[in-house]
A = this chain, B = another copy of it.
Amino acid sequence: MGKKTTIYDIAKKLDITAATVSRALNNSPKISKKTRDLVLEMANKMNYEQNKLALALKSGKSNNVGVIVPRIDSNFFASVIRGIEENLFAHGYHVIICQTHNNENIEIEIINTLLNAQVDGILMSISNVDIYKKESFNRIFKKQIPLIFFDRKANIEGVSSVTINDFEAGYKATKHLIKQGCKKIVHLSGNTLLDIFNNRFLGYKQALEDEGIEFNEDYVIRIKSTVEDGRKAVKKLLKLKKSPDGIFSSSDYAALGAIQEIKNQGIKIPEDICVVGFANEPFTKFMELSISTVDQSPVEMGKIAANVFLEQVNNTDNAKIEKKVVLTPELLIRKSSLKKPVSN
């Protein structure tokens, strides 16, 4: 009843072979116009649709791409995925989404099941720094399918990546705070084993040095990217003798927590303390006290990552391509850090 029509069904009806039907449908040159027309007409009449699974098995290409992220319900990752999907769908690929929740075991399991599902490539943002030392990770290389990192990358030779210049972002943000007159600048960081956090930190440090401000280890706080942690961190900081007058947070959520706590204590933003976040989450723009932040152009990042995949998957020569795309971050200066007009 709900049985699908195959090329064999068409062949039987027309008293020809499946091979001929296949050739007709694929517009092969070695077919008479008459037969082709007959086949196309019959295929149409019988509602024939190609079974991509059979094709996938035969060709070894599933036309599916795996995308691995820590979680999908953050605006940044959702936007990257949006870019990836839009680009790849137009090229006949489907995007399979998987979330690691920053859990190493799940991350490994996901890689394995994606490989078994014969995906044609994997685009991922790592959650675990040592994942690439695992056996399952090597299976990706053995299978010779493209692997592309976006945002959170591991440094592996021969693997392409699309990231933003986190050092520059950290540098710009910090320099902006200094220009606003801040002298005691705190950095709310994350897991510095991850490049993104480490580079933002390094940019921060460099900006201090370039401006002749002494680096103070106590001003660097490693926390999770949550409102709660941002709040707690600031609570402690405000008790310090040399309480800060500027905060550069590697996360918008932590920045928000910081702002809430600061206001709670009756301290004024930006007059007393300037705050800059990171990621341009939608809420940063919408708040009455809009939050300065760094935009990572996530949709574009996704589109580019997809492009890199397409380049590599279509590359027939055996040469390994390593493409490292580094996007330029944009510092968005908003109310939370703007004491004086921006100088150019």
User: What residues of chain A have their CB less than 8 Å away from a CB belonging to chain B?
Assistant: 2, 4, 47, 49-54, 56-57, 62-64, 71-75, 78-79, 81-82, 85-86, 89, 92, 94-99, 110, 112-118, 139, 142-144, 227, 256, 281-283, 286-289, 299
Contacts and interface: CB of A to CB of B under 8 A. Distances in A.
Contacts of A139: 47, 49
Contact of A289 (B47, B57, B288): B288
22 contacts: A49-B115, A50-B116, A53-B117, A54-B57, A63-B117, A64-B64, A64-B96, A72-B72, A72-B81, A73-B75, A73-B81, A82-B99, A86-B99, A89-B99, A96-B96, A256-B286, A281-B282, A282-B282, A282-B283, A283-B287, A287-B288, A288-B288
Given A53-B117, A73-B81, A74-B78, 18 more contacts: A4-B143, A49-B116, A50-B116, A51-B57, A51-B116, A52-B117, A56-B57, A57-B57, A64-B64, A72-B81, A72-B82, A73-B75, A73-B299, A81-B97, A85-B99, A94-B117, A281-B282, A288-B288
Copies in the assembly, this chain? 2
A75 B82 CA distance: 13
Contact of A286 (B97, B98, B287): B287
Contacts of A52: 116-118
Nearest to A62: B53
B89 A78 contact: no
A141 to B, nearest CB: 8
Nearest to A96: B94
A325 B9 CA distance: 40
A56 B96 CA distance: 16
Contacts of A113: 92, 94
Max chain B C-beta neighbours (<10 A), residue from A72, A99, A227, A289: A72
A2 B256 contact: no
A342 to B, nearest CB: 23
Contacts of A4: 143
A95 to B, nearest CB: 5
A63 B63 CA distance: 15
Contacts of A98: 85, 89, 94-95
Contacts of A71: 82
Contacts of A72: 72, 78, 81-82, 85
Contacts of A47: 139
A51 B49 CA distance: 24
Closest 3 CB pairs of A and B: A283-B283, A78-B78, A73-B78
A82 B100 CA distance: 11
